Amino acid sequence: MSVSEDKADQMAIPAAPVTVIRPPRGWIPINLRELWAYRELLYFFTWRDIKVRYTQTVFGIAWAVIQPLFMMIIFSLFFGTLAKVPSENIPYPLFSYAGVLPWTLFAAGLTRSSDSLVQDVNLVQKVYFPRMLLPLAGILSPLVDFAIAFVILIGMMLYFGYYPGVTMFWILAFLVLELMLAAGLGLWLSAINVAYRDVRYAIPVLIQLGLYASPVVYSATFVPARFQTVYGLVNPMAGILEGFRWAVLGTKPPSDLLFASVAIILVILISGAFYFRRREKAFADVA
Amino acid sequence: MNAIALRVENLSKIYKIGQTVGYNTIRESLTNVMTAPFRSLRQMGDRRRKGEATSPRSSVSSPPNTIWALKDVSFEVKHGEAVGIIGRNGSGKSTLLKVLSRITAPTEGRVEIRGRVGSLLEVGTGFHPELTGRENIYLNGAVLGMSRAEVKRKFDEIVAFAEIEKFLDTPVKRYSSGMYVRLAFSVAAHLEPKILLVDEVLAVGDVQFQKKCLGKMSNVASEGRTVLFVSHNMAAVRELCPRAILLSDGRTLNDAPSPNVISEYLSAQSDVSSGDMAVSDPLLRRNSLPNSRFRWTRVTIKNSEGRVTGLLKFGEPFEIVLQGVADSELTEVRAGFSIDSVLGVAIFNSFQIDNGIPARMPAGQIRFCVRMDPNFLAPGLYKISLGANGDGIIDFLPTTLQFTVSTAGEEDKNPWRNYHGGVMRYPCRWYIE
């Protein structure tokens, strides 16, 4: 090696990142800087999930629309026409679709993220990267399905004579809240799933239960005013769904319900992240 | 260039053995969660009493049903150094690499790494069968720590090395296993970290591709990057790494120039040392004529003192004793042996008729002695193959007796003086004109 190269090398060494590996003890802080450094990998994981989603299917991406559409049709038939569930004077199909849409996003995100570490156990055992990326990619990838199904919502709104207003922009805020909730639960459940595969079987049950415990087929106004806060605490999706419906259709804006939901979402997200970090070190050995 | 790239201090890792489901039972987990705050308080107290957590708690005896996969392993690697990690299965080699690449956490000790680490613990991790070759290059690149721009820059090179130009847009699940492995290795090989951790990736593909991989690896090493290479392939370790670390039961047994370490490792293997092997078993004769009129029966190695052994010092003359049996008097027989490298390549062979012994042989037992003086074999592991041919005779016994040529500590103190490639140390005559 020539002298000049030698010098360059020595100069490069102090600049090289120093990594220290030590036995982890206690609670480990969340390394946001590292997550940022790995943002490209998050993108690739999300992109992979999206790409792989509908390969070797005839209908392909159309499934993103078919699923919520059929849920809406069934709900309209049973709850709207037969049971005559009140829908705040909004045509029931539109009312229920505006609930089904964010719910599907949440359910898909939760399912994918809670199973993400187990699905990619190979990666977890062979390559280092912030493990959080996997459950996070799991909640991000259903956004594409959501966006496609959203076009149908716009179509339905125009059909029923509801013209999108400025409040529509609030959707973004509710989406962010929803992703935060899904991420929080996803972090909890994916970390537990590594050790106890029970999670895999519990998720479909929880999602079924959650669907009826949330204001998807009915309005949150069903719940008496004095229980609204409790409702929002127990089911943080309630605030999000009501908020989403308000932003799209101009129903009654959520207040206590939403504040309660936001509070509990923050608790779930932060505790989920810390729990995940604590369990992370054992993933490769336990999975 | 003397800067330390990697410093490992008293690294230990404990594993639970037996049928534990998950982390522990749910009940244990719950009690753990409940008592955790108290435990960490107590630990803090302990630490203060001990004067910081610098002292490894190795005095604590290991709990039942656990195994130390690594125990007090310490070493340093300088920038640009290539170090082989060898040892038997379960000696802790892979665990070491897993800890160094942050896949799993150590139980005790400390590691300091300067520079970007790339680890190749398995070829093709992160490949998705449904994605095309092109897509997988980007995905796998990202997984291994390359940026999208970096992959883009090396894309053509990766494709060319893997030889899959035509199948770039085919899902990799339609690839032959060879194509798959080639692509996977190619992506990994174009990773350019300061420090590269490699585990046995060369054990893939056909011989030709393995050679290509080996070539790529030695390029990496000669480019001045730091390499830690775990392998069972001693020839490859010796080829790539001037220095080797021998692990056994999670501990460091030796850390020295690789020829020394390799010969220590090989001579510790039980099947090497005897230096004597009976070969009359018909099961060994898959390549022989069923009732060949001449058959080999025994092969023995004697060292310079006349003692039967499978361990020879480097440069030590030795004797190979070959015993065979002829059913009747034979007029035309050629009997001999070859010495093969660990890779199974014959280095040379020799027959009795080469040395003036007649091709005619009486009926009954016969005993040939072959003096190997001088001994040019480089330190390493060798195998002897036996063969005989002639009228009505084919007796071929590939790779029978193994023997080891060790360095026997007669090495120069400077490692750079010791390293040699190849299987022979030919007594060349040098002069300056």
> Quick one: closest CA in A to B194, which residue?
A16
Q: Is B101 among the domain residues?
A: yes
DSSP per-residue letters across A191-258: HHHHH-THHHHHHHHHHHHHHHHTTTSS-GGGS-GGGHHHHHHH-HHHHHHHHHHHHHH--PPP-HHH
The pLDDT confidence band at residue B62, using thresholds 50, 70 and 90, is: low
- Same domain? For B213 and B291 the reply is no
pLDDT value, residue B11? 93
- Same domain? For B43 and B93 the reply is no
| pTM, full prediction | 0.71
Q: Which of B247, B268, B289 is the last residue of a domain?
A: B268
pLDDT value, residue B394? 86
Q: How are strands ordered across the β-sheet holding B276-278?
A: B276-278, B294-302, B318-326, B364-372
Most confident range (mean pLDDT) of A96-100, B12-16, B60-64 is A96-100
**Rounded to a whole number, what is the distance in Å from the CA of B84 to chain A's nearest CA?**
19
* Chain B touched by A36 (CB under 8 Å): no
pLDDT value, residue A232? 86
Cα separation of B7 and A213, whole Å? 55
Torsional class of A260: left (φ above 0), alpha (ψ -120 to 50), beta (otherwise):
alpha
Residues B120, B188: contact at Cβ < 8 Å?
Answer: yes
Cα separation of A70 and B410, whole Å? 81
pLDDT value, residue B239? 79
The structural domain count of chain B equals: 3
Q: Is B204 among the domain residues?
A: yes
Q: Which of A41-50, A96-105, B95-104, B190-199 has the lowest mean pLDDT?
A: B190-199
The pLDDT confidence band at residue A2, using thresholds 50, 70 and 90, is: very low
Q: Is B3 among the domain residues?
A: no
DSSP alpha helix (H) spans, B254-399: 258-268
Residues of B in contact with A129 (CB under 8 A): 143, 145
**Rounded to a whole number, what is the distance in Å from the CA of A7 to chain B's nearest CA?**
9
**Rounded to a whole number, what is the distance in Å from the CA of A184 to chain B's nearest CA?**
19
Residues B305, B316: contact at Cβ < 8 Å?
Answer: no
- The CATH number of the domain where B212 resides is what? 3.40.50.300
- The CATH number of the domain where B347 resides is what? 2.70.50.60
- Same domain? For B296 and B172 the reply is no
**Tokens standing for residue B194:** 């300061």
Q: Is B424 among the domain residues?
A: no
Residues 6+ apart with CB under 8 A from B241: B82, B83, B84, B221, B227, B229, B258
Q: Is B154 among the domain residues?
A: yes
Phi first, then psi, for residue B68 (nearest 5°) are -85, 105
Q: Which amino acid is at B261?
A: V
- Write out residues 128-147 of B within 8 Å (CB-CB) of A: 128, 130-131, 135, 138-139, 142-145, 147
Of B240, B270, B265, B267, which is closest to residue B255 (Cα–Cα)?
B265
pLDDT value, residue B25? 53
Residues 6+ apart with CB under 8 A from A11: none
Mean pLDDT score across all residues of chain A:
88
Q: Which of A15-24, A47-56, B145-154 has the lowest mean pLDDT?
A: A15-24
> Quick one: closest CA in B to A2, which residue?
B1
How does strand B311-313 pair with strand B318-326? unpaired
Mean pLDDT for A65-80 is 92
Q: Which of B213, B236, B268 is the last residue of a domain?
A: B268
Q: pLDDT tens across A89-111, in order?
A: 889 999 999 999 999 999 999 99
Q: Is B307 among the domain residues?
A: yes
- Same domain? For B352 and B234 the reply is no
Mean pLDDT for B55-84 is 76
- Same domain? For B178 and B281 the reply is no
- Same domain? For B214 and B151 the reply is yes
- Write out residues 165-224 of A within 8 Å (CB-CB) of B: 194-196
Cα separation of A273 and B136, whole Å? 29
Q: How many CB atoms lie within 10 A of CB B180?
A: 23
- Same domain? For B83 and B44 the reply is no
Interface probe for B, chosen from A1, A43, A123, A128 (most Cβ of B below 10 Å), is: A128
pLDDT value, residue A12? 38
Q: pLDDT tens across B298-328, in order?
A: 999 999 988 888 888 888 899 999 999 999 9
Q: Which of B212, B242, B268 is the last residue of a domain?
A: B268
Beta bridge partners of B34: none
Q: Is B423 among the domain residues?
A: no
Q: Is B71 among the domain residues?
A: no
Q: Is the pLDDT of residue A13 over 50?
A: no
- Same domain? For B287 and B262 the reply is no
Q: pLDDT tens across B325-384, in order?
A: 999 999 899 999 999 987 778 899 999 999 889 999 999 999 999 999 889 998 888 889
Mean pLDDT for A61-78 is 91
pLDDT value, residue B60? 47
Q: Is the pLDDT of residue B57 over 50?
A: no
The pLDDT confidence band at residue A201, using thresholds 50, 70 and 90, is: very high
Contact flag A40-B128 (C-beta cutoff 8 Å):
no
Cα separation of A141 and A150, whole Å? 15
Mean pLDDT score across all residues of chain B:
81
- Same domain? For B213 and B316 the reply is no
- Same domain? For B209 and B117 the reply is yes
Q: Domain range holding B153? A: 78-268
- Same domain? For B283 and B264 the reply is no
- Same domain? For B322 and B356 the reply is yes
